[in-house]
Structure 1
């Protein structure tokens, strides 16, 4: 029996409405998302329970789509792995990884390839302080269609510098151990933090590279991303991208801020006019600023960072890193690359060039960046941690949004 014309029209209209809602969910502009309120009206109940920062809900509970247009997408074979004239820009996925972390690295690769890189085929660049095994090379190269390269870090880039007093370093490690500063006893951790802070981009393999996306072993990516993230950074004049921002251990960076102020006193010209200094100095956790002499310890969690290498190659950062390196805090304390990069970005860079990738679902144990997006699976929207409740208090996003907005 034929369906009446009116019913056909009604069915067509319903289908069009469904398509409109679906497109809106997938492509809604993140700039339309409003900051959660700082307080909760008496008698009302927040969506997910009162978060420690006073939000009525996590902004990741609001429906979000992709980053703002323009967006570069796959069109035919424009991002094919063997296309010598592809639309890929000068960028790489970068990993510092040990041979024994092969399985954890493969997990990270599988996630990022599945959600993003199988479409765009950006190369992977692997670094290790010892040569990579054939097994590592074979299995990681098999995990991607993109090119892979493997590099050993020169000894002079990795070794403890000659100006570090070994007796003072040994005593400092003991003092930090007594204060329960994580990883403070591991020489390799101190070396890694220094290398990631100001040495990695000096490697010959990166001398001509413009952008990188840092990928660590044993991380997860949850959401399909259908645009060229590197191309977006370039087109929108962004120099630094993050997913998570957290508090650090104040005992690990006790003199980082005083040394930074010494540097600024000698080089006031490097402080950007539109900076995010307030993000670095607003006390979020009682007691942190007293220990650090003014630093909030808020920092971008650099196990995920997408950045323009010109940031670190700049005269301002080069001289800043050299100042910090000579001060010895990478060894006498446990200065991490995350607070060092964050302080530099917060002071020397225009805050409008820093971007929160809310649409990239990400986990590094025990924290999440979980968007409310139809392209995500395996990640609960608005979930910040799967650890103890007190870990919610380590979230510094509210402080960043206050001083720089959500972009």
Structure 2
């Protein structure tokens, strides 16, 4: 593992403060570059003690019994499909797009058809708030042999209610978010898109006929061949939600989302959270103690021993046990510093928990529609809608999906499609090819002549011992977001390898550190030193 649980807990709050302070639209470019380059978030790109640093995630085999690629490298797709046990799932691609994005839509279709769908021929559902043009419909149909459907989003699902749109507060909110530099904050269409994907898309009549969906976007690259059926493999493995990228959200786009999420939980007494909650939140109540001062001052394991030492030194000073030991001055310094110090303030602490801003980048999702279309998630979306955060703030569908999923799903329900190479915008994930996979063993065989590969397009990256990809061709110079998305990927792999400091979770966090026991141990050590 690159980071241990202890190391993650030591620096996680400085990261959150960084996002709160610096992440606005004016500094967006710098922020994204920091994610890509990892200069701030990920200490392993620095030159300090380089020889002693563990390897990057992308250069390791990090599979576990519960979290691993369905296949490492390629399979014989023809043989896979012709196997008697294979069955095509009730699934579709879905894309929310506009007529003017046709060129980017065709680019995405070319990539997904070439790398996957020319063999499996899953249908497409395109959604728009205005009718698709004949040109859009004809050209998208020409890209695939699969069924293509075009849906119109009704006015109520796409637009905010009239009482919102006509309110002076609505225009003021748009203007204020733009003035404060919140990414996409002043764009009404972006707010509509986030709201629609947060709680409307899976209710569209064209989507209601399917059990599974794969969300795609205009202008997307797939870097590796997907020689198996992800829908079927998720079904067999009992998985419900799959992703390729896990990153932190920009703080000022969702400052009150977690507040309202906690409020929803409190209003639904008896709700048992899924263990995905551990992936997205920090527990700030880790200690069993009746000492109110310790409760107020300490929220991290790393801070407990120093604070207990201070407490014990002051107790020993009062008891007169430090006289003639040379430690009296240390105790006096502790007393002065304590008098001058302020209790730590956690602005985003609710119910002794804090959102760590991690979320599944929802522009790629492979999931069962039922993970959203259920009583709990529908009620959650309705509650968020009633509290108007989709326009008063810039709540994205990605953090809403992620926190909403954590209300019901367990960690074992998730699947990290680590073997699928993917790019959207400037963020990229691309695995190393499996050394088990070679062109000789599993040569590319097009199912449609338009996707025939010649010349450079038929050359793939060299396989490695730790590789998992199938016929991947990664960009020549890039840093995998897997290596830069601190702290989210650290927490993911800690949970996958059962190294996370919250080892037990039955729907709520419980204090795990016995402070009295720790205090007695430190007191004995100090007395032995005197």
Instruction: State the TM-score, normalizing by the size of structure 2.
Output: 0.61
Tell me how far 1:153 sits from its aligned partner: 0.7
- Do structure 1's residue 318 and structure 2's residue 374 form an aligned pair? no
Q: Distance in 2 between matches of 1:261 and 1:49?
A: 31
Q: Distance in 2 between matches of 1:296 and 1:376?
A: 32
User: Do the aligned partners of 2:80 and 2:228 also contact (CA within 8 Å) in 1?
Assistant: no
Q: Distance in 2 between matches of 1:58 and 1:173?
A: 41
Q: What is the total number of aligned residue pairs between the two structures?
A: 352
Aligned to 1:260: 261
Aligned to 2:414: 354
Cα shift readout 1:124-160 (whole Å, capped 9, x = no counterpart): 1110111001111111111111111111111111011
Cα shift readout 1:364-398 (whole Å, capped 9, x = no counterpart): 1211111011420033598226xxxxx94666211
SS of corresponding position for 2:347: helix
Structure of greater relative contact order (alpha carbons < 8 Å, 6+ residues apart): 2
| Residue among 348, 356, 379 paired with 2:475 | 379
Aligned to 1:18: none
Tell me how far 1:174 sits from its aligned partner: 2.3
Tell me how far 1:72 sits from its aligned partner: 9.2
Aligned to 1:150: 150
SS of corresponding position for 2:218: coil
Tell me how far 1:277 sits from its aligned partner: 3.0
Cα shift readout 1:297-320 (whole Å, capped 9, x = no counterpart): 111110111111001111110111
Q: Distance in 1 between matches of 2:164 and 2:349?
A: 22
Aligned to 1:4: none
Q: Distance in 2 between matches of 1:59 and 1:104?
A: 31
Q: Distance in 2 between matches of 1:90 and 1:379?
A: 33
Aligned to 1:137: 137
Aligned to 1:62: 60
User: Do the aligned partners of 2:430 and 2:474 also contact (CA within 8 Å) in 1?
Assistant: no
User: Do the aligned partners of 2:174 and 2:188 also contact (CA within 8 Å) in 1?
Assistant: no
Aligned to 1:366: 426
Aligned to 1:16: none
User: Do the aligned partners of 2:243 and 2:362 also contact (CA within 8 Å) in 1?
Assistant: yes
Task: Show structure 2 runs of 5+ residues with no match.
Answer: 8-36, 45-53, 285-343, 434-462, 464-470, 499-530
- The aligned runs of 1:9-20 (5 Å cut-off) are none
Tell me how far 1:292 sits from its aligned partner: 8.1
- The aligned runs of 1:33-52 (5 Å cut-off) are 35-38=1-4, 52=41
User: Do the aligned partners of 1:116 and 1:225 also contact (CA within 8 Å) in 2?
Assistant: yes
Aligned to 1:236: 237
Cα shift readout 1:315-358 (whole Å, capped 9, x = no counterpart): 11011111001111001101010000011122321111111100
- The aligned runs of 1:294-313 (5 Å cut-off) are 294-313=354-373
User: Do the aligned partners of 2:275 and 2:406 also contact (CA within 8 Å) in 1?
Assistant: no
Q: Distance in 1 between matches of 2:409 and 2:76?
A: 28
Q: Distance in 2 between matches of 1:335 and 1:158?
A: 15
Q: Distance in 1 between matches of 2:197 and 2:491?
A: 25
User: Structure 2 vs 1, CA of residues 156 and 292 (structure 1 numbering), >3 Å: closer, same or farther?
Assistant: farther
User: Do the aligned partners of 1:61 and 1:382 also contact (CA within 8 Å) in 2?
Assistant: no
Q: Distance in 1 between matches of 2:3 and 2:55?
A: 8
- The aligned runs of 1:269-284 (5 Å cut-off) are 269-281=270-282
Q: Distance in 2 between matches of 1:372 and 1:77?
A: 23
Aligned to 2:105: 105
User: Structure 2 vs 1, CA of residues 338 and 100 (structure 1 numbering), >3 Å: closer, same or farther?
Assistant: same
Tell me how far 1:78 sits from its aligned partner: 4.7
User: Structure 2 vs 1, CA of residues 269 and 120 (structure 1 numbering), >3 Å: closer, same or farther?
Assistant: farther
Q: Distance in 1 between matches of 2:100 and 2:194?
A: 19
SS of corresponding position for 1:220: strand
Aligned to 2:489: 397
Q: Distance in 1 between matches of 2:173 and 2:348?
A: 16
SS of corresponding position for 2:145: coil
Cα shift readout 1:250-304 (whole Å, capped 9, x = no counterpart): 1111111110111100124333353333523379xxx9x7368632211111011
- Do structure 1's residue 120 and structure 2's residue 212 form an aligned pair? no
Q: Distance in 1 between matches of 2:205 and 2:75?
A: 29
Q: Distance in 1 between matches of 2:283 and 2:475?
A: 31
Tell me how far 1:172 sits from its aligned partner: 1.8
Aligned to 1:5: none
- Do structure 1's residue 53 and structure 2's residue 42 form an aligned pair? yes
User: Do the aligned partners of 1:141 and 1:148 also contact (CA within 8 Å) in 2?
Assistant: yes
Aligned to 2:168: 167
Q: Distance in 2 between matches of 1:157 and 1:177?
A: 24
Tell me how far 1:245 sits from its aligned partner: 1.1
User: Do the aligned partners of 2:195 and 2:390 also contact (CA within 8 Å) in 1?
Assistant: yes
Q: Distance in 1 between matches of 2:177 and 2:270?
A: 35
Tell me how far 1:102 sits from its aligned partner: 0.5
Tell me how far 1:88 sits from its aligned partner: 1.3
Aligned to 2:393: 333
- Do structure 1's residue 224 and structure 2's residue 190 form an aligned pair? no
Aligned to 1:89: 89
Q: Distance in 2 between matches of 1:379 and 1:155?
A: 41
SS of corresponding position for 1:146: coil
User: Do the aligned partners of 1:370 and 1:383 also contact (CA within 8 Å) in 2?
Assistant: no
User: Do the aligned partners of 1:372 and 1:381 also contact (CA within 8 Å) in 2?
Assistant: no
SS of corresponding position for 1:360: coil
Q: Distance in 2 between matches of 1:337 and 1:214?
A: 13
